[in-house]
Structure 1
Amino acid sequence: MQYYSTNKSVPEVSLKLAVTKGLADDKGLFMPERINQLPASFFETIEQLSFQEISFEVAKAFFGEDIPEADLKALVFDTLQFDCPIVPVHDNIYSLELFHGPTLAFKDVGGRFMARLLGYFLKGNKEHVNVLVATSGDTGSAVANGFLGVPGIDVYVLYPKGLVSEIQEKQFTTLGQNITSLEIDGTFDDCQRLVKSAFMDETLKSKLTLTSANSINVARFLPQAFYYFNAYARLKEKGLQDELVVAVPSGNFGNLTAGLFAQKMGLPIKRFIAANNENDIVYQYLQTGEYKPRPSVATIANAMDVGDPSNFARILDLFDNSHEAICSVMKGFRYSDAEIREVLLKVYTEKNYLLDPHGACAYKALAKDLGEGEVGVFLETAHPAKFTETVEQIIGKGNVPLPEKLAEFMKGEKLSVELSTSFDDFQKFLLETAK
């Protein structure tokens, strides 16, 4: 399988090059040259398969031409050492809980899979790779823990100072070893800009091998399609797979893009709902047909605080830049912090289900839009304990249990380096420290 750039001004590359480069030389995002359809027989018996077995079949459609089947199966099964259950919340609304991995966030699958895949490609090579990742919260912890201790790879996590929760911060700043955390005095958009600029910098490119572990990397976002197939299978077990609507809390749009890929592969999802916080750039696009990035603003759903979502370029490419085609499969909603607080408290009080701020945003949009006869799934992307301070302010102190995994992270010592938003400072740091 070859991969082309969304900007379409450079030659196609192999999967290995797409993964190790992260970003195309023309600043575009890599896309597979085609999206393979899964056979009807797969969907006829999908409910009989486990999450791991489903994911392996999907992975073969993505990566089977480039990785021997036995090796790919080992990669998938090693990545998915946990489950993602469907939990009933209200009438015909279900939560797909994606927070049962090592860092209690949905990005564990993509982060761990990419680490294993990159390690697979580097096996036996003397090449050293430096992974750059910008995070607004959960990406940093998922990638850092996925790559922790992987030979031949160093990870640099850039995060906005004071704009991630303490627990999120502890999950990647306390690890040490091959993980370096850079506390940037700016926003997530500044962190993302620094990472993208590094990939384009000729001085860095001549001295270092750089790649990204953000969802701009195909090995990070494509495996997130696994979730959607598993959700369909678990609903089919209950006879509820028809008229399926999926709501996704959306920041950088990697997760929703993976869902659209799943739909293109034949997964019968009726429509997607993109749930935005006050950073509503894609919501505005869906209303007007005009894409107008702007600086992000801080909200209580901080992982969605993105003012220029990278993966929207992939969505435009998937649908040939057709606003009409995109709107035919996707609806948008946006909510203020006050509205997110209100629904989080309401669901906790009335349904005895504890949402995190991002899941609350998706639940509210789904409850608003779901029609008669439809079944809705919203993605609960992180454990509410990752936002303990915010959630306890809403529902009352002492009501958010702290899982043992998170408690262990909180005991660690913060190890991070403070940097400005200047690319010159970032370049200098990498030249002095990276291999």
Structure 2
Amino acid sequence: MNFYSLNKKAPNVSFKDAVIKGLAPDKGLYFPEQIIPLQKDFFDHIEYFTNNEIAFEVIKQFVADEIPEKELKQIINETLSFDFPIVPIEENISTLELFHGPTMAFKDVGARFMARCLGYFNKEENTEKVTVLVATSGDTGGAVASGFLGVEGVNVVILYPSRKVSDVQEKQLTTLGKNITALEVDGTFDDCQAMVKTAFLDQDLISKLNLTSANSINIARWLPQMFYFFFAYKQLKNKHKELVFSVPSGNFGNICAGIMAQQLGLPIKHFIASTNVNDIVPTYLKTGIYSPKPSKQTISNAMDVGNPSNFVRILEIYKNDDSKLKENLSSYSFTDIETRKAMAKLHEEFNYTADPHGAIGYLGLKKYFSENNNAQGIFLETAHPVKFLDVVEPIINKTIGFPRQILEVIKKEKTSIKIAVYSQLKEFLLN
């Protein structure tokens, strides 16, 4: 299996090279040359497979023989060391909880998978040290920091927007030390992401460093997110209803992975990309005009993205055919006021404590079901509410206890390096 750049001006590369490079030389995201649907028999008997067995079947065509079967299964076993439960909320609506990993965010799976792939490639080839450069709007940084902590031959540099992530999120990416460094940027997530992209195109820098990215632009971070949708189908298959997924969407990697799962044959009726007021994709689906904007700060900060990188992959799946895209994808945006009301409703009426991102996913389902209600709806709960205490606790009027994963970092001392412009990032990396 080779991967090509979506800008179509760079050579095709192997899985290994796509993982190590992160971004193609022509600035394009990598995409697999083919997507081979899985056998019908696999779906007919999916309830008899373990999650690890499902994940292996889903990912193996993309990794091919670049990681031997035994080692790939071990990577999956180490990646999927926690649960992914479906929790019923109301009739025809459930949530898929993706926050039971070490940093209590859905990005744990992609970060752990990618870290172990890089660790394998480094060990096998004894290559030069890799520098993982990543921008975060909240949860990516903590998941990457945890996933890569102590991985030999890999240094991790995380850029995050100052005062625009929650206290718990900040502690998760600034307290680990070892091979993890946090750079606190005076700006927005888009500023952080712009610096990372500039670094990957800086010939002076890439001639001296072996740089890769752990954002969802990297195929090893992005593709494992397909697993979630298979795990949900396994748990809901016995309901014999068509499935509709509502995905809280920021950089659009998670929902793109869901659409990839559908391409592999997973029977999904429809997707909903639920966003906050950073409504670039909802606007595009209404007007046909894709117009990136500076991101606006909201209480669902992991979705504060003004130019979602992975949407170009979604367009590629549909061969830039807007009519096919709209048949399969709806997208709605919601304000902070609407989000708070949804969190209150979920707690008061259904005794469920959602984080702001999950609440937006719930709102997307409710809006879709106001016109189409003959299906089983699943919204993704992408982070534990403890990561957003300042938002959640005043709404539910309760104190949320710290789970073990959070207690391990919350009392540690923050260590970060403040920067404001790209030249400071470059100077840090070179030195």
Name the TM-score, length of structure 1 as normaliser: 0.97
* 1:417 and 2:412 are equivalent in the alignment: no
Matching residue's letter, 1:36: I
What runs of 5+ residues in structure 1 fail to find an aligned partner? none
Cα shift at 1:267: 0.4
Cα deviation 1:135-155 (Å, max 9, x = unaligned)? 000000001100000000000
Could you say which residue in structure 2 is the equivalent of 1:35? 35
* 1:300 and 2:289 are equivalent in the alignment: no
- Report if the CA contact (8 A) 1:159-1:191 is conserved: yes
* 1:282 and 2:281 are equivalent in the alignment: yes
Cα deviation 1:379-418 (Å, max 9, x = unaligned)? 00000000011101212142x2221211221111101000
SS at match of 2:239: coil
SS at match of 2:38: coil
Could you say which residue in structure 1 is the equivalent of 2:15? 15
Could you say which residue in structure 1 is the equivalent of 2:211? 210
SS at match of 1:123: helix
SS at match of 1:207: coil
Q: What is the Cα-based RMSD across aligned positions, in Å?
A: 0.9
Alignment of 1:185-200 (within 5 A): 185-200=186-201
SS at match of 2:207: helix
* 1:312 and 2:311 are equivalent in the alignment: yes
Which range is displaced more, 331-340 or 117-126? 117-126
Could you say which residue in structure 2 is the equivalent of 1:244? 243
What runs of 5+ residues in structure 2 fail to find an aligned partner? none
* 1:72 and 2:69 are equivalent in the alignment: no
SS at match of 1:227: helix
Cα shift at 1:372: 3.1
Matching residue's letter, 1:328: E
Cα distance in structure 1, aligned partners of 2:361 and 2:62: 28
Cα distance in structure 1, aligned partners of 2:62 and 2:233: 19
Matching residue's letter, 1:244: L
Could you say which residue in structure 1 is the equivalent of 2:428? 429
Matching residue's letter, 1:315: I
Could you say which residue in structure 2 is the equivalent of 1:361? 360
Could you say which residue in structure 1 is the equivalent of 2:159? 158
Matching residue's letter, 2:203: E
Could you say which residue in structure 2 is the equivalent of 1:170? 171
- Report if the CA contact (8 A) 1:5-1:12 is conserved: yes
- Report if the CA contact (8 A) 1:366-1:376 is conserved: yes
Matching residue's letter, 2:324: A
Cα distance in structure 1, aligned partners of 2:418 and 2:394: 29
Which range is displaced more, 337-346 or 387-396? 387-396
- Report if the CA contact (8 A) 1:37-1:61 is conserved: no
SS at match of 1:255: helix
SS at match of 1:183: strand
Matching residue's letter, 1:425: Q
Could you say which residue in structure 1 is the equivalent of 2:257? 258
Cα distance in structure 1, aligned partners of 2:397 and 2:62: 45
- Report if the CA contact (8 A) 1:250-1:274 is conserved: yes
Cα distance in structure 1, aligned partners of 2:21 and 2:189: 21
Could you say which residue in structure 2 is the equivalent of 1:96? 96
SS at match of 2:3: strand
Name the TM-score, length of structure 2 as normaliser: 0.98
Alignment of 1:45-56 (within 5 A): 45-56=45-56
SS at match of 2:137: coil
Cα shift at 1:316: 1.2
- Report if the CA contact (8 A) 2:15-2:62 is conserved: no
Could you say which residue in structure 1 is the equivalent of 2:336? 337
Cα deviation 1:133-181 (Å, max 9, x = unaligned)? 1000000000110000000000000000000000000001000000000
- Report if the CA contact (8 A) 2:103-2:146 is conserved: yes
Cα shift at 1:241: 4.5
Cα distance in structure 1, aligned partners of 2:17 and 2:245: 33
Cα distance in structure 2, aligned partners of 1:132 and 1:405: 24
Cα distance in structure 2, aligned partners of 1:252 and 1:109: 16
Cα shift at 1:52: 1.5
Structure 1 residues 148, 6: CA separation in 2 closer, same or farther (over 3 Å shift)?
Answer: same
Cα distance in structure 2, aligned partners of 1:6 and 1:305: 24
